[in-house]
Amino acid sequence: MVKLNILVAGVGGQGIITMGKMITNACEREGIKVLVAETHGLAQRGGAVNIHVRIGDVYAPIIAKHGADCLIGLEANEVLRNLDYANSNTIIVLNEYSLKPVLPKVKENSVEEIVKKLSNFRVFRINANNIASLVGDKRVVNSAILGFAYGLGIFRMMSEESFTSTLKGENNVKAFRLGLEESLKLSNKLTI
């Protein structure tokens, strides 16, 4: 069985834990073992939230430092904060969305500054917030990101139907498919 370690990083209020459940439900539908762990401090809107998703032949839910196969950033600055989990082979899926840090005196990075700092990694960018606007429902950002990641081949052990059947509502399915279409337009495809 293939192992896949995915770290999802973002801030409170972005539906990170729900995204973990979406991946878990798709894995369970396929009969694939999956472990999930939430790591966050005082859960509050704007605070850092991470989930570790380990798929396949795994026995502990937490990803080791430098052990992530994929780092999905729902908020761009959170990718930088979680680079300890990445290695030279880690695939980074970056939502082109940056929030002003909630802490005072913390520098706000633009998405372009963040991408420049990630120049040593394989970064795949998506503007999932734009896709959610096209769908007309800002709550479907994470479905667009999952569709994008699926289209890149990150979830190659699962069928598209396993994801779409677990998504709640027509707008989530639309966003997933639009995200998938975005990945298919890329010229720098993954070679897994």
Q: What values do phi and psi take at 103, rounded to 5?
A: -85, 140
- In the chain, the percentage of residues whose pLDDT exceeds 70 is 93
- In the chain, the percentage of residues whose pLDDT exceeds 90 is 78
Give the pLDDT mean for 90-116.
88
pLDDT in tens, 64-81: 999 999 999 999 999 999
pLDDT in tens, 130-175: 999 999 999 999 999 999 999 999 998 999 999 999 998 999 999 9
Mean pLDDT score of the chain, rounded to an integer?
Answer: 91
Structure tokens at 160: 């598209």
Enumerate the β-bridge partners of residue 73.
9, 94
**Count of CB atoms within 10 A of residue 136's CB?**
9
CA dihedral sign of residues 111, 114, 115, 116: positive
Residue 41: the pLDDT is 62
Q: Name every residue whose Cβ is closer than 8 Å to that of residue 113 and which is 6 or more positions away in sequence.
A: none
Statement: residue 1 has pLDDT above 60: no
Give the pLDDT mean for 4-8.
97
**Count of CB atoms within 10 A of residue 108's CB?**
10
